[in-house]
Amino acid sequence: MNYTLVLLIPLIPLAVFLLLGLFNQKIKPAISGLIGVFGLVLTTLFSIYTAFQYFFIIGKDSGAFPSLVEKFIWMNFTDTLRIDMGILIDPISVMMLIVVSTISLMVHIYSRGYMKGDEGYTKFFAFLSLFTFSMYGLVLATNLFQIYIFWELVGVSSYLLIGYYYTKESAVAAAKKAFIVTRFADLGFLIGILLIGFYTGTYDFETLNNPESSAILNWASTSFMGLSVLSWGLILVFIGGAGKSAMFPLHIWLPDAMEGPTPVSALIHAATMVVAGVFLVARLFPMFFFVEEGFVLQIVAFVGAFSSLFAAIIAITQTDIKRVLAYSTMSQLGFMMLALGVSGYDGQDGLGYMASMYHLFTHAMFKALLFLGAGSVIHAVHSNYLKDMGGLRKYMPITNITFLVAALAIAGIPPFAGFWSKDEILVAVYEHNSFLYAIGIIVAGLTAIYIFRIYFGIFWGPNRSYEHTPKESPVSMTFPLIVLAVLSATVGFIPFSDFISPDRMGFEGHINIPLALIAVLVGVIGIAIAWALYKKENALAGRTAQRFGVFYTWAYHKFYLDELYLFVTKNILFKGIAASAAWFDRNIVDGTMNAIGNSTVGISKKIRGIQSGRIQDYAMVFVSGIVLLAIVFIYIWTN
Amino acid sequence: MIAGITIYELLTVTSILFFIGIYGFITRKNLISILISVELILNASVINFVVINKYMYPDVLQGVLFSIFIIAVAAAETALAVSIIFNLYRQISSVEVKDIETMKY
Amino acid sequence: MERIIFYILALIIIAFAIASVSSRKMLRSVIYLLFVLCSIAGIYFLIDYNFLAAIQLTIYAGGIIVLIIFSVLLVHHIEMRLEIAKPSKQFITGLVCLIGLGLFLFTLYSHEFQVVENTATTNITDIGTKLLSYEAGGFILPFEVISVLLLAAMIGAIVIAKGNKLSEKNNPAK
């Protein structure tokens, strides 16, 4: 394995970021775009080469894919507890390399068209490169702390890119919201890291994931409030993952994050960064599984299932197509979490884990495609809202076809990619828990409905009065669409189970025909409902909405979660805690400091008065002193 | 010896004179006034020398001679002080104490 | 008779001393000082130190006062009223002085002076002999020192009062 080559994968985007960031004003936009794309082409090639090497040249070592580690000690706390920096190559990190580099490359190419003429063109590419670097670092991290560092770095890049249109108030607010909410979740992550580090004495994934290691065995039984301390640590780590992956109830930042440019949404908020939470759980999967017989995984499963259903319902009611896609992302991420939560460890039992990673992979392709397609549409009609779109299939044939491919893929229609991964998830869930399976099926149906609702809304239906006739996007934008459409249609045929499984052994994948049929049927029914309601503008949709009454209104307002959070933060946190803390800070803390300062100044002024330089003042002191000393020595201190 | 006057009365007068001088030295705002106060203080001490010499050691002349020296030193001091005042006045056009604070730097 | 004269003199000394340190007119202040000095000369006469009284009158009243009056006339307007200190400062200083005075007087009156009754008069010859004697109790060395001091003071006073012009001439570097 050529580690230098692997090391170059994150370093090239970093170099590009530094180059574009430092010489922001000096580089012409056209060149900066080319530099970005060129860097990404290199890393993509390296990634593919690494994957090829890893899976086919090195291959399995005594039945399992090896986990290759190259690292150096960065900070040494105790003999075992230390922070390393390095690269870890195992099946999921290699898979993530492929995902990140592919999507990032496509988004870079797409951005050259989409961002054309924008003022901050070079800055945009610099940020994209920063993000790509951070994501690679996150994927290749060898220990919890390293992943945390890059975790925050992707958070920062996400913040920068959401707030890219920094003159827009809503974008700034959304960026802050995303940063604060994920920071809030990362607090849990950090405490979890510290907890795990404290008890196990190591941050290293290899030790943590080894169920026989003494670090785990010693502490697994130390309990706190009925749960093992390691379970608590994992729950906290999962909170961090849930924040990044927009799981309920920490999802509120993701829809708002759509204020960023659409390519950013495609790259960060659909394909790569938001799956970091899923990736984190997958990275620590053996630990999740073995500590207290996978208790935390149950939480993961239920949170995933609930988020998935919750988001799917909201997605149906939204009118901003990017928000629909955002909720769709959240729903699919819930699916992945669900699959991880129900997964076993050995051989065939690891189906859920495999399915989750598989879905992560396919979802990255078709969701990025959906976003880029939506971006293409928005580019053409200059609006985010469904009411401004309609009948675009005549004007934008390529976008239409590629979007349709992606929609079919997410709806789970064979032979498109989504079918295979979603089917595997449903099979895994079915084997585990029928209640969760029911939720999964409902969500699958809802997915088909909401995605075809916007598909029909955009490309079919009546023509709207456009300011200027919409026309197909330039090649730089349609090329990524086509590539991603091809990928979305074909990646389903990769025999994923051969490569990725929790024990790294791989297993024989198979299709469960009855379950697959049910899933497809549900998908088709969903499409049919969408066809009936939204293909032509008719009153049926409105009537259906009315039938659901209050429930529809609730869903339309995202179940008032934003309002609830606002109420809690503004009325309880700000007024109750923050105000009193501020009062304490201003009056007690500052007051003490000010008192010290003021008294020092006051005393200094007095002392300065003594050193006035006026001979008479000195004489005064002198005479007083003499008189005093005379009194003391003549009359008082006389023995 | 002054007939009917004890040393106590004389020393009382000089003490009062001495403290009047100190009071003037501290409170006056003008260099020449301060000089006058210094003269008062000096005179108080001169009288003390003389009186003690006369009342307690009439056989020797130390007190008188010291008084002469003190008067000579006072004359020299006054001459110097006045020349300093002149010079100062030429430079800052003032002989007020508040304008002469540079000693503190 | 001598008692009465002494009391009058003491009264003049104290009253004019107070007037001298509290007058707000510079020239008056100096003149009050003159009265004080003359009265002190009177006391010297009373205790039979005629030579000292003569010195007091010539050097103090004749020399120093004239010098001060010159300086006053050179640097002040006759009618200029002097600034006085803040009342609080006056009060505190007065208090300190009163305490000090109280201490002095208390100490004086509680001390037993060994007064020698005498009527001896001192003539100038005695003083001159003592001043130039280099036997025990002679003052030849202080006499020489004081003469050097006077010379130095004279030169210094001239240099300082002449100010910058002289030093500029003496300093070719400028």
DSSP per-residue codes, chain C: -HHHHHHHHHHHHHHHHHHHHH-SBHHHHHHHHHHHHHHHHHHHHHTT-HHHHHHIIIIIIIIIHHHHHHHHHHHS-TTPBPP---HHHHHHHHHHHHHHHHHHHHHHHTS---PPP------HHHHHHHHH--STT--HHHHHHHHHHHHHHHHHHHHHHHTHHHHHHH-TT-
Please say whether the dihedral angle defined by the alpha carbons of residues B50, B54, B56 and B59, taken in this order, is positive or negative: positive
C1-101: CATH topology is Four Helix Bundle (Hemerythrin (Met), subunit A) (1.20.120)
Q: Alpha helices of B4-61 — where are they, by DSSP H?
A: 7-27, 31-56
Contact list in C for residue A620 (CB cut-off 8 A) is: 92-93, 96
Q: Please check whether residue B101 touches A, CB under 8 A.
A: yes
Length of chain A: 639
pLDDT tens sequence across A349-397: 788 888 888 888 888 888 888 888 888 888 888 888 877 777 787 888 8
Q: In a 10 Å sphere around its CB, with 0-12 CB exposed, 13-18 middle and 19+ buried, how is residue C134 labelled?
A: exposed
Spatial separation of the C-alpha atoms in residues C89 and A617, rounded to whole Å: 10
Asked whether residue B25 is assigned to any structural domain, the reply reads yes
Candidate from A613, A620, A623 with C-beta closest to B101:
A613
Provide long-range contacts, Cβ within 8 A and 24+ apart, for C90-93. C90/B27, C92/A620, C93/A620, C93/B23, C93/B26, C93/B27
Contact list in A for residue B25 (CB cut-off 8 A) is: 616, 619
Counting the structural domains of chain B, the total is: 1
Contact list in C for residue B16 (CB cut-off 8 A) is: 14, 17, 101
**Are the Cβ atoms of B80 and C156 closer than 8 angstroms?**
yes
The residue in chain A having the minimum alpha-carbon distance to the alpha carbon of residue B102 is A613
Could you say which DSSP state residue B45 is in? Answer: H
Residue B15: CB partners within 8 Å, gap ≥ 6? B44, C101, C104, C105, C108
Candidate from B4, B47, B72 with C-beta closest to C43:
B47
Please say whether the dihedral angle defined by the alpha carbons of residues A307, A313, A314 and A316, taken in this order, is positive or negative: positive
Question: Position A327: which residue type?
Answer: Y
Contact list in B for residue C129 (CB cut-off 8 A) is: none
Q: What is the CATH number of the domain that holds B88?
A: 1.10.287.3510
Contact list in B for residue C156 (CB cut-off 8 A) is: 80, 83
Interface test with C, best of B12, B14, B15, B23 (most C CBs within 10 A): B23
**Are the Cβ atoms of C100 and A623 closer than 8 angstroms?**
yes
Could you say which DSSP state residue A412 is in? Answer: T
Question: Position B25: which residue type?
Answer: F
Q: What backbone phi and psi angles, to 5 degrees, belong to A248?
A: -60, 135
Contact list in C for residue B64 (CB cut-off 8 A) is: 49, 51-52, 122, 127
Q: Please check whether residue A624 touches C, CB under 8 A.
A: yes
pLDDT exceeds cutoff 90 at B41: yes
Residue A229: CB partners within 8 Å, gap ≥ 6? A195, A199, A219, A222, A223
Spatial separation of the C-alpha atoms in residues B7 and B20, rounded to whole Å: 20
**Are the Cβ atoms of C118 and B1 closer than 8 angstroms?**
yes
**Are the Cβ atoms of C55 and B27 closer than 8 angstroms?**
no
Interface test with C, best of B9, B11, B12, B13 (most C CBs within 10 A): B13
Asked whether residue B43 is assigned to any structural domain, the reply reads yes
Contact list in C for residue A627 (CB cut-off 8 A) is: 96, 99-100, 103
Q: Helix, strand, or coil here: A495?
A: coil
Q: Which chains touch C (3 or more CB pairs under 8 A)?
A: A, B
Q: Please check whether residue B93 touches A, CB under 8 A.
A: no
- Shortest Cα distance from B103 to chain A (angstroms)? 5
Spatial separation of the C-alpha atoms in residues C164 and C174, rounded to whole Å: 12
Q: Which chains touch B (3 or more CB pairs under 8 A)?
A: A, C
Interface test with C, best of A615, A620, A627, A635 (most C CBs within 10 A): A627
Residue corresponding to tokens 């003494």: A214
**Are the Cβ atoms of A620 and B26 closer than 8 angstroms?**
yes
- Shortest Cα distance from C171 to chain B (angstroms)? 18
Amino acid C166: pLDDT: 44
Contact list in C for residue B32 (CB cut-off 8 A) is: 26, 30, 68, 71-72, 75-76
Spatial separation of the C-alpha atoms in residues A240 and C120, rounded to whole Å: 111
Spatial separation of the C-alpha atoms in residues A514 and A536, rounded to whole Å: 33
> How many CB pairs (< 8 A) connect B and C?
226
- The β-bridge partners of A64 are A61
Spatial separation of the C-alpha atoms in residues A327 and B15, rounded to whole Å: 100
> How many CB pairs (< 8 A) connect A and B?
26
Contact list in C for residue B35 (CB cut-off 8 A) is: 68
The residue in chain B having the minimum alpha-carbon distance to the alpha carbon of residue A608 is B104
Candidate from B25, B102, B105 with C-beta closest to A616:
B25
| 10-residue mean pLDDT series, chain A (639 residues) | 82 89 81 86 90 83 80 80 84 88 89 81 87 90 88 89 86 87 88 85 80 68 74 87 85 84 85 87 85 82 89 85 88 88 80 87 89 86 80 83 88 83 85 85 88 85 72 83 87 80 76 83 86 73 70 72 75 77 85 90 81 78 90 83
Contact C20, B40 (CB under 8 A): yes
Q: Please check whether residue C84 touches A, CB under 8 A.
A: no
- Shortest Cα distance from A631 to chain C (angstroms)? 7
Coarse DSSP helix, strand, coil percentages of chain B, rounded to the nearest 5 percent: 80, 0, 20
Spatial separation of the C-alpha atoms in residues A611 and A202, rounded to whole Å: 62
Spatial separation of the C-alpha atoms in residues A135 and A148, rounded to whole Å: 11
Q: Render each residue's pLDDT in chain C as its tens digit; 174 residues.
A: 888 999 999 999 999 999 998 888 888 899 999 999 999 999 998 888 888 899 889 988 888 899 888 888 888 766 677 777 788 888 989 999 999 999 999 988 988 888 888 777 778 888 888 888 888 778 888 889 999 999 999 899 888 888 665 445 555 443
Q: Alpha helices of A117-168 — where are they, by DSSP H?
A: 121-140, 144-162
- Shortest Cα distance from B53 to chain C (angstroms)? 10
Structure tokens at A60: 């399995």
**Are the Cβ atoms of A613 and B25 closer than 8 angstroms?**
no
- Shortest Cα distance from C109 to chain A (angstroms)? 14
Spatial separation of the C-alpha atoms in residues B15 and C10, rounded to whole Å: 12
Question: Position A623: which residue type?
Answer: V
Spatial separation of the C-alpha atoms in residues A82 and A76, rounded to whole Å: 4
Asked whether residue B103 is assigned to any structural domain, the reply reads no
Contact B50, C52 (CB under 8 A): yes
Asked whether residue B46 is assigned to any structural domain, the reply reads yes
Amino acid B48: pLDDT: 92
Coarse DSSP helix, strand, coil percentages of chain A, rounded to the nearest 5 percent: 75, 5, 20
Q: Please check whether residue A634 touches C, CB under 8 A.
A: yes
Amino acid C148: pLDDT: 93
**Are the Cβ atoms of A627 and C103 closer than 8 angstroms?**
yes
Spatial separation of the C-alpha atoms in residues C126 and A476, rounded to whole Å: 126
Spatial separation of the C-alpha atoms in residues C95 and B19, rounded to whole Å: 11
Interface test with B, best of A607, A610, A612, A616 (most B CBs within 10 A): A616
Residue C137: CB partners within 8 Å, gap ≥ 6? B60, B62, C130
Cα dist from A31 to A115, A116, C74, C86, whole Å:
14, 12, 85, 79
Contact B18, C71 (CB under 8 A): no
The share of chain B scoring above pLDDT 90, in percent, equals 27
- Shortest Cα distance from C93 to chain A (angstroms)? 7
Spatial separation of the C-alpha atoms in residues B42 and A113, rounded to whole Å: 100
Residue corresponding to tokens 């992979």: A361
Asked whether residue B52 is assigned to any structural domain, the reply reads yes
Contact list in A for residue B97 (CB cut-off 8 A) is: 614-616
Segment (H or E) for A427: helix A417-432
Candidate from B97, B102, B105 with C-beta closest to A616:
B97
**Are the Cβ atoms of A613 and B103 closer than 8 angstroms?**
yes
**Binding-face residues of A in 453-472 toward B, CB within 8 A:** none
pLDDT tens sequence across A334-352: 888 888 888 888 777 788 8
Give this complex's ipTM: 0.89
The residue in chain B having the minimum alpha-carbon distance to the alpha carbon of residue C138 is B62
User: Residue A146, Cβ neighbours under 10 Å: how many?
Assistant: 24
Structure tokens at A12: 């090239």
- Full residue range of the structural domain in which residue B81 is found: 7-94
Contact list in A for residue C93 (CB cut-off 8 A) is: 620
**Are the Cβ atoms of A614 and B97 closer than 8 angstroms?**
yes
Candidate from B58, B64, B67 with C-beta closest to C116:
B58
Contact A501, A354 (CB under 8 A): yes
Amino acid A500: pLDDT: 81
- The β-bridge partners of B93 are none
Contact list in B for residue C116 (CB cut-off 8 A) is: 55-58
- Shortest Cα distance from B37 to chain A (angstroms)? 12
Contact list in A for residue C110 (CB cut-off 8 A) is: none
Residue corresponding to tokens 């009047």: B20
Amino acid A215: pLDDT: 64
Amino acid A218: pLDDT: 67
Domain residue limits, chain C? 1-101, 123-174
Spatial separation of the C-alpha atoms in residues A45 and A101, rounded to whole Å: 9
Q: Please check whether residue A463 touches C, CB under 8 A.
A: no
